[in-house]
Amino acid sequence: MSFTIQQVLIPVEQGYDTVDVQIGHDPSEPDEGHRITAIGADLDVVGTIVDGRNKLLLPGFVNAHTHSSEMWQRGIIPPVPLELWLAELYDFIPLNEEQVYLSALGTAVETLLSGGTSVVDHLVLIPGKELETVAAAVRAYREVGIRAFVGPLIQDEPLTSGIPDGGTAQTHKPYLRSTKATLELMQEVINQFHKPETGINVMVAPTGLQLCSDHLFEGCAELSDRYGLCRHAHLLETKAQKLLAEETYGCSAVQHLKDLDYLSPRTSLAHCVWLDDTDIQMLAETQSTVVHNPLSNLRLGSGIAPILKYRQAGVNVAFGCDGSASNDSQDLLEAIKIGSILHNTTDFEYQHWITPRESVEMAALGGAKGLNVQDQLGSLTVGKQADLVMYDLTNLSLLPRTDPIGLLILGRPVNAVSYAWVNGKAVVENNSVVNVDLNALRQALFNQSQWSIKRQSPTVAEVEAHYRSVMQLPAFTQGYS
């Protein structure tokens, strides 16, 4: 349905303008495709009228890296580094599709209500129910109406092999699924679920070099080329991963990914904390995207990603929340705020610091670039698809009136998204998601969980002593496990 937003504030070069924005569709295109057809003062009304007075219109942001089913473990994993955190996480991943569906719904709702209109779900699969897992998440995303990029999280090496062996020649059990079976699974996921015209995109997303063979990365790159899919992976999130790459390949992980031909303009890489200047140059040359997950990096003690260096080198940067067990939220505006001001502590040259308008551009256009849809999304431009968010500037958290984008990015907006559209379809109206019964969602999340403080993770017990030794931490008499 076409509509016209009247008298809404939009950012322009010199400040802000009050304009009308027309959203319509080209009759020659399928009805799905609603685009921005005009932006200007006092436009003719097309379709229904949306009152934009005292509201700020921005392109929808991209939650460019998350793992939806981690929502079932938010708040519970103690403050430990990634390698131990992962060991615990995988001992307690959801085991049924209903939970996957509910956490995808929850992730989508929190993303929409904090300015995101697209989500990249690096989706943890239930062993033996892989296609059902993807089906459950896709069902949730289609229902809520968010644009989703679903990258089944695949690996072909066991979790313990993600820790450097430090010269101790560790042996590992084989992974539960072979490389060949994993690539066949991806082929089936693509066949069944990759439908960009419905807002559901499949991406290839091997979890990272630390848990994947070269053959798996090459197979994923090949599928990506054959079907035009985006590529995703974790990259150098921790110091242990940097040591592991040097141990395994005798070069940096980035060099190895480049040698595997995995880096490209449609490749987005989560975290990127432990890269050196040569690595950064390679990301710039291959036009790869860094997905910045500042809260997760802080929560897991992974480090501060050199975001200002990426920007100076011309590397595209987007923002992600990361999964809810390492954040432990899906508040995209919070991730953008922390991910912007955190870096002021890393460089005394304040001219390198990220301004609120640059944060908006990274979150919207930067996110779109990382998904290779910058021609379609990411800015208020006539002809682009209508993935839009309208913020209520009379909301208490955005008052008193100063610079709207400054208030949004540097402040702590609470329930400030009054409308959101994906492809021209309303997904948030009057500060509420349109297609989801929030009370029913809350009830289901409540009913399927319990208050809990301490669990025993067998995998942590297995790997903790070795992790401490490799990271040159003193041996312990009593560990976290």
Q: Which is nearer to Zn ion, 279 or 322 (by Cβ)?
A: 322
Contact string 426-445 vs Zn ion (x = CB under 5 A):
--------------------
Q: Give every CB contact of residue 3 below 8 A, 6+ residues apart in sequence.
A: 22, 23, 46, 47, 48, 49, 50, 424
Q: Supply angle C-alpha 452, 453, 459, rounded to 5.
A: 100
* Residue 349 Cβ vs Zn ion, minimum distance, rounded to whole Å: 30
Rg (CA), the chain: 22
Give me the least distance between CB of 372 and Zn ion, in Å please.
Answer: 20
In the complex, minimum distance from the CB of residue 358 to Zn ion, in angstroms, rounded to a whole number: 24
Distance of CA 121 to the CA centre of its chain: 6
- Least distance to Zn ion from the beta carbon of 326, Å? 7
CB 322 → Zn ion: shortest distance, Å? 5
Least Å distance between CB 81 and Zn ion? 14
Cβ nearer to Zn ion, comparing 334 with 403: 334
Stretch of 135-143, 315-323, 330-338, 356-364 contacting Zn ion, by CB under 5 A: 315-323
User: Is the Cβ of residue 110 or residue 361 nearer to Zn ion in the bound state?
Assistant: 110
Least Å from the CB of residue 24 to Zn ion: 38
CB of 282 closer than 8 Å to CB of 262: no
- Decide whether 83 or 322 has the Cβ nearer to Zn ion: 322
The two tokens of residue 5 are: 């937003």
**CB of 276 vs Zn ion, minimal distance in Å:** 22
The DSSP line for 237-274 is: -SHHHHHHHHHHHSS-HHHHHHHTT--STTEEEEE--S
Residue 300: CB minimum distance to Zn ion, A: 10
d(CA 252, CA 78): 30
User: Comparing C-alpha atoms, which of 46, 45, 40 is closest to residue 20?
Assistant: 40
Q: Which stretch in 185-193, 254-262, 314-322, 387-395 sits in contact with Zn ion by CB under 5 A?
A: 314-322
**Residue 408, token pair as written in the block:** 């949004």
Residue type, 122: H
18: its two tokens: 């009050």
Q: Single out the segment in contact with Zn ion by CB under 5 A; choices: 31-39, 98-106, 131-139, 316-324.
A: 316-324
- The tokens for 234 are 């974790």
Count residues binding Zn ion (CB under 5 A). Answer: 1
Q: State the minimum distance, in angstroms, from the CB of residue 237 to Zn ion.
A: 8
Stretch that binds Zn ion, among 188-196, 317-325, 334-342, 415-423 (CB under 5 A): 317-325
Rounded CA-CA distance 449/239 in Å is 34
d(CA 152, CA 137): 10
Which positions ≥6 away from 442 have C-beta within 8 Å?
none
Residue 473, Cβ density class (10 Å: 0-12 exposed, 13-18 middle, ≥19 buried)? exposed
Q: Which lies closer to Zn ion via its Cβ, residue 322 or residue 392? A: 322
Contact stretch for Zn ion (CB under 5 A) within 104-112, 273-281, 321-329, 460-468: 321-329
Q: How far is the first Cα of the chain from the last one, in angstroms, to the nearest whole number?
A: 56
**Contact 118/62 with Cβ under 8 angstroms?**
yes
Strand ranges in 132-286 using DSSP code E only, listed in sequence order: 147-153, 200-202, 231-235, 267-271
Closer by beta carbon to Zn ion, 22 or else 238: 238
Stretch that binds Zn ion, among 183-191, 318-326, 367-375, 463-471 (CB under 5 A): 318-326
x-marked contacts with Zn ion along 322-351 as a string, rule CB under 5 A: x-----------------------------
β-strand partners of 392:
55
Closer residue to Zn ion (CB): 322 or 361: 322
To Zn ion, the closest distance from the beta carbon of 410 in angstroms equals 26
By C-beta, is 6 or 66 nearer to Zn ion? 66
The secondary structure of 3-20 as a DSSP string is: EEEEEEEEEETTEEEEEE
Nearer to Zn ion, 110 or 322 (CB): 322
Could you tell me the smallest distance in angstroms from the CB atom of residue 25 to Zn ion? 36
Going by the DSSP 8-state scheme, the letter that residue 201 receives in this structure is: E
Residue 339 or 404 having the CB closest to Zn ion:
339
Count Cβ atoms within 10 A of the Cβ of residue 441 and give its class: 0-12 exposed, 13-18 middle, 19 or more buried.
Answer: middle
The site string for Zn ion over 461-480 (x = CB under 5 A, - otherwise) reads --------------------
| Nearer Cβ to Zn ion (3/274) | 274
Question: Alpha helices of 342-457 — where are they, by DSSP H?
Answer: 356-361, 367-370, 404-410, 438-447
Closer by beta carbon to Zn ion, 20 or else 322: 322
Q: Which stretch binds Zn ion (CB under 5 A): 5-13, 319-327, 375-383, 391-399?
A: 319-327
> Which residues lie near Zn ion (CB under 5 A)?
322
